[in-house]
Structure 1
Amino acid sequence: MQAELAVQRLRRPGLEFALVPITTAGDRDRSRPFGEIGARGVFVKELEEALLEGRIDLAVHSAKDMTSTDTEGLTVGAYLPREDPRDALCGTAELKPGMRIGTASVRRRVQLLALEPELRIEPLRGNIDTRLRKRGERGLDAVVLAACGLDRLGLGANIDRRFEADEMLPEAGQGALALQVRAGDDGAVDQVDDAETRRRVESERACLAAVGGGCLAPVAAHHDGTSLSALVAAEDGSWLERLGGDDPTLLGRELARIADARRPDAA
């Protein structure tokens, strides 16, 4: 679906496309939590290797799946116009104590618990159709998914509530598709680059990059077009700090400082 959207944008006379399916680590392992298989990057590594080896000329990613910095030798040549970046609640419109909510995302879990501390958050992985089906099979009250994914598949009717960013801060890059090419090949795709999406997503990625790989706490960053918001939290949801600002690097460094100060073994 994502690759097809990119081809639709890029298609012009004299240019031919061949879609090359590549299975990533995130695709292969649909049972374990993301933290056990590598978190960010598990859906892009194999695609990037194919690009670097010349087996493909373009990789299409959900920007939220990418690492916060570009892999050496590769660059994002274009971002397609951003779709709805919000998280969606499917199954109920209201969170109530004792409800069982399915999600594999630690970021979503900690923010759900901030909204309603008495929720029971249960791990849930798989593609969108699988997660919607498992909600019924496991008797879950609701599941949380990316709104854009549901919308792209024509499944928006399953959404009972779209969380506003001040309720649940989206993942950096959520809702945007990134067209990745080898460094120097930007010209092949730059005609479809959406400047506003690039401005916002690059700000979000820069914030996470400034946090640094040493921070293991859940983090998120989202630019609404006016300002950048970011958060850091404890994995168990016992605390959550949210900040706002204009400088992504300073914001990311402050998140890292807070996470470090909040570590149980911090002096």
Structure 2
Amino acid sequence: MSVRVGTRGSRLALAQTATVIKKIQSLGIEVEQKIINTQGDEVTGIPLHAIGKQGVFVRALDDAILNNEIDCAVHSMKDIPALRPSGLITSAILPRDSPADFLAYSGPVSSVRIVGTSSTRRRAQLLRHDPGLEIKDLRGNVDTRVKKLSEGQFHAIVLAEAGLSRLGIRIPGDRLPPEKFVPTANQGTIAVVSRADPSLIEVLSSLDHPVTRKDVAIERAVMEQIGAGCFTPMGIYCKNGHLIAEVLSLDGKRTERIEKNIGTLEDARAEGTAFRSVAGDLIAEAYHTLGISYER
């Protein structure tokens, strides 16, 4: 048996895919890697929310699986949208790396005034922490963003700590505690998506980490019930069943937040539904400000 593994072509995507390939090969199975270009990689001059809905890094890989060009694909799980095409399954979720954001900068933190990020969540959380910051859009892969920081285009940039670790990048800065700067759902997690083929699932499921799968499933259940998408400044983080979720205004001045211990997916869905009603005004406001239609 051999497995064709699809991936984006960025250095981070290739590093994540290399981890998965190594695990599959350790089972005595041959692996072929295939690079697939995605809309999120090709359109880099505008913020993510302006391209389209969540999934801009995923759709092309989904299509490649369904068209039998590849057998499975490796993703940052946070990029996978809630609604999935029929015939696909998340066969494996690897042990979670750091879920935290990392504020990269040099010199004294008091001199940081201009911060680069394209995430509405990170923007709102930074402004909540320091309303005097100027937040500018920053797209591109990790290397591109780090280069722009070194060139002095920004005083600081925000990156996922897990991505830096996977690339072996050591850079001055501070880890932003996930309890305060609540990350996006599933941040720090690598997932393998495949066709719903029993023989393929049998192989890939041996890579699965049940504890991580449960935590990210709780996060996704809450996310799906809230239904706010990537346009809303929203963080959802669960560790060993302890859930923290928050929705912020775009300027970071207002926040709705819950913190609960969650035992089952049913509990998670109930919490998500209840939180949607509490945070609905902030969600609608974010969509309206960004010029996107929203139905409650």
Task: With the length of structure 1 as denominator, give the TM-score of the two structures.
Answer: 0.91
Instruction: Tell me the distance in 2 between the aligned counterparts of 1:137 and 1:251.
Output: 44
Q: Residue 214 of structure 1: CA displacement? A: 7.6
Contact 2:236 2:246 in 1 (8 A): yes
Instruction: Tell me the distance in 1 between the aligned counterparts of 2:83 and 2:49.
Output: 19
Q: Residue 61 of structure 1: CA displacement? A: 0.3
Instruction: Tell me the distance in 2 between the aligned counterparts of 1:151 and 1:214.
Output: 27
1:164 pairs with 2:177: yes
CA RMSD of aligned residues (A): 2.1
Q: Residue 207 of structure 1: CA displacement? A: 0.9
Tell me what 1:207 maps to. Answer: 222
Instruction: Tell me the distance in 2 between the aligned counterparts of 1:10 and 1:58.
Output: 12
Q: Residues 36 and 198 of structure 1: is their aligned pair in 2 closer, same or farther, counting only changes over 3 Å? A: same
1:106 pairs with 2:106: no
Between the aligned residues of both structures, percent identity stands at 35
Q: Which amino acid aligns with 1:243?
A: I
Tell me what 2:238 maps to. Answer: 223
Tell me what 2:5 maps to. Answer: none
Q: Residue 208 of structure 1: CA displacement? A: 0.6
In structure 1, stretches of 5+ residues that fail to align are none
Q: Which structure: greater helix fraction?
A: 2
Q: Residues 111 and 213 of structure 1: is their aligned pair in 2 closer, same or farther, counting only changes over 3 Å? A: closer
Q: Give 1:34's match in structure 2, choosing from 48, 52, 55.
A: 48
Q: Give 1:191's match in structure 2, choosing from 196, 200, 206.
A: 206
Contact 2:234 2:247 in 1 (8 A): yes
Q: Counterparts in 2 of 1:16-35, with a 5 A limit?
A: 16-35=30-49
Q: Which structure: greater strand fraction?
A: 2
Tell me which moved more, 29-38 or 215-224: 215-224
Q: Which amino acid aligns with 1:79?
A: I
Tell me what 1:259 maps to. Answer: 279
Q: Which runs of 4+ in 1 moved over 3 A?
A: 92-98, 213-216, 261-265
Q: Which amino acid aligns with 2:248?
A: A
Q: Residue 241 of structure 1: CA displacement? A: 1.5
Instruction: Tell me the distance in 2 between the aligned counterparts of 1:259 and 1:13.
Output: 46
Instruction: Tell me the distance in 2 between the aligned counterparts of 1:98 and 1:75.
Output: 43
Tell me which moved more, 103-112 or 180-189: 180-189
Q: Residue 216 of structure 1: CA displacement? A: 4.8
Instruction: Tell me the distance in 2 between the aligned counterparts of 1:125 and 1:234.
Output: 22
Q: Residue 3 of structure 1: CA displacement? A: 1.2
Give per-residue Cα distances to partners, 1:132-165, cap 9 Å, x unaligned: 111132431110000011011110x214111111
Q: Counterparts in 2 of 1:66-215, with a 5 A limit?
A: 66-92=80-106, 96=110, 99-155=113-169, 157-185=170-198, 186-212=201-227
Q: Which amino acid aligns with 1:3?
A: T
Q: Residue 182 of structure 1: CA displacement? A: 1.1
Q: Residue 73 of structure 1: CA displacement? A: 1.4
Tell me what 1:250 maps to. Answer: 270
In structure 2, stretches of 5+ residues that fail to align are 1-14, 289-296
Task: With the length of structure 2 as denominator, give the TM-score of the two structures.
Answer: 0.83
Q: Secondary structure at the match of 2:19?
A: helix
Tell me which moved more, 51-60 or 135-144: 135-144
